[in-house]
Amino acid sequence: MKGFDPKFRDFPDYIIGITKEIWEDRGIATLHEYYGKDMHLRMPLGSSRGNLGVIASTMGTLVEFPDRQLLGEDVIWSGNEDEGMLSSHRLYCTGTHLGESMFGTPTGKKVHFRAIADCYAIENTITDEWLVRDYGGIAKQLGWTPRDVAAKLIAEEGGAEVCSQPLSPANYEEGPYKGRGNENEWGARYADCLNRIMSADLAVIPEQYDRAIHGEYPGQTYARGWDEVDSFWISLRSAFPSAQFSIDHQIGREDPMMPPRAAIRWSLHGRHEGWGSFGRPTGAEVYIMSMSHVEFGALVDGNPLIRHEFTVYDEVAIWKQILMQTG
């Protein structure tokens, strides 16, 4: 690959390799090499700029979960060597809660959770990143609710008026990556599914999802079959019925020995006006940055349908926005 260390065989190998090198092999100092000095990092709980912030965040997470493992499940990517490449990296993470953290005093409990990171890299350097971890899932495994963790953060940071601000359109900063993904048919097909779901056309689920669909969602939520997938999506959408839905990045891929896949980064921005996943309506303005991956397969009649769906958003960040405005 042009400009990349020759030890990496291809772009997925680069993404998976540096992740292991940084986190599991404790090569935190390599962030000076692999992350640009002025890189942009956006997470639902806030954003930062520069690799020094990434280094500090990495060390803090390793204090929380010193034995953390990041198992790379997939890298769905677009772009080219000349213009740079964007990877959507889905991770299954494990670790033992052994350090003081946003989740309180150490519990010694083992946790499992998913994260998806969209990273833009050119010539061996990442200069733009979007990262979503399932903090709601971690909270529940450690005996908290996402709402209670959000309330704890606000209190510890000095109250709603001065606490750190979650990511929103008002504080969102553009970085060097200007792409929107690719025009592959599998990405377009999944984008159409999400647009229909967010437009309350839930008939798309039995039309485009396999009857034995396997869904994995925020808060350690698992769904099997059309009814449970329908329940997840309608519970989210009904909580924010008038929020604007946007597909912000879209990739589809076909690779040897892999099923057709799609990766979409999407957002919802609007008022918490309905009953659903976040309880009693409050009217709070909320911005949700989320990422979804799917795998297609044809079990019957050669008709490819969605057989696996993975969606990650941060319930703690959503509750923090609600509580900052409502108490």
pLDDT of residue 32: 82
> Does residue 59 fall inside a structural domain?
yes
State the average pLDDT over residues 249-273.
98
Same domain membership, residue 196 and residue 142: no
Same domain membership, residue 108 and residue 210: no
pLDDT of residue 55: 83
> Does residue 310 fall inside a structural domain?
yes
Q: What DSSP character marks residue 164?
A: P
**CATH code: domain of residue 100:** 3.10.450.50
> Does residue 202 fall inside a structural domain?
yes
d(Cα 45, Cα 270) in Å, to the nearest integer? Answer: 17
> Does residue 4 fall inside a structural domain?
no
Task: Give the tens place of pLDDT for each residue, 287-297.
Answer: 999 999 999 99
> Does residue 173 fall inside a structural domain?
no
Whole-angstrom CA distances from 250 to 54, 82, 106, 188, 305 are: 25, 20, 39, 8, 18
Task: Give the tens place of pLDDT for each residue, 264-280.
Answer: 999 999 999 999 999 99
Same domain membership, residue 97 and residue 45: yes
Q: What percent of the chain has pLDDT over 70?
A: 100
pLDDT of residue 29: 84
Considering 137, 156, 175, which residue would you say is the last residue of a domain? 156
Same domain membership, residue 207 and residue 260: yes
How many structural domains are present in the chain?
Answer: 2
Considering 156, 177, 194, which residue would you say is the last residue of a domain? 156
Picking from 53-67, 87-101, 126-140, which range would have the lowest pLDDT averaged per residue?
53-67
pLDDT of residue 67: 93
Strand segments, DSSP code E, in the chain are 35-43, 46-49, 69-80, 84-96, 110-122, 125-133, 209-217, 221-224, 244-253, 261-271, 285-297, 305-312
| Residue labelled with tokens 């490449």 | 85
Same domain membership, residue 140 and residue 28: yes
pLDDT of residue 213: 98
- Closest among 195, 199, 283, 197 to 239, alpha carbons compared: 283
Same domain membership, residue 120 and residue 242: no
Would you say residue 235 has pLDDT above 90? yes
State the average pLDDT over residues 22-39.
86
Task: Give the tens place of pLDDT for each residue, 279-327.
Answer: 999 999 999 999 999 999 998 888 899 999 999 999 999 999 999 999 7
Same domain membership, residue 224 and residue 138: no
Same domain membership, residue 94 and residue 191: no
Look up the domain containing 101 and give its range.
Answer: 11-156
Would you say residue 22 has pLDDT above 90? no
Picking from 26-40, 112-126, 142-156, 189-203, which range would have the lowest pLDDT averaged per residue?
26-40
> Does residue 6 fall inside a structural domain?
no
Same domain membership, residue 207 and residue 133: no
Same domain membership, residue 126 and residue 85: yes
Q: Are 95 and 254 in contact (CB under 8 A)?
A: no
Would you say residue 192 has pLDDT above 90? yes
> Does residue 99 fall inside a structural domain?
yes
pLDDT of residue 62: 87
Same domain membership, residue 200 and residue 93: no
Would you say residue 202 has pLDDT above 90? yes
Q: Are 291 and 118 in contact (CB under 8 A)?
A: yes
pLDDT of residue 157: 96
By DSSP bridging, strand 221-224 and strand 209-217 are: antiparallel
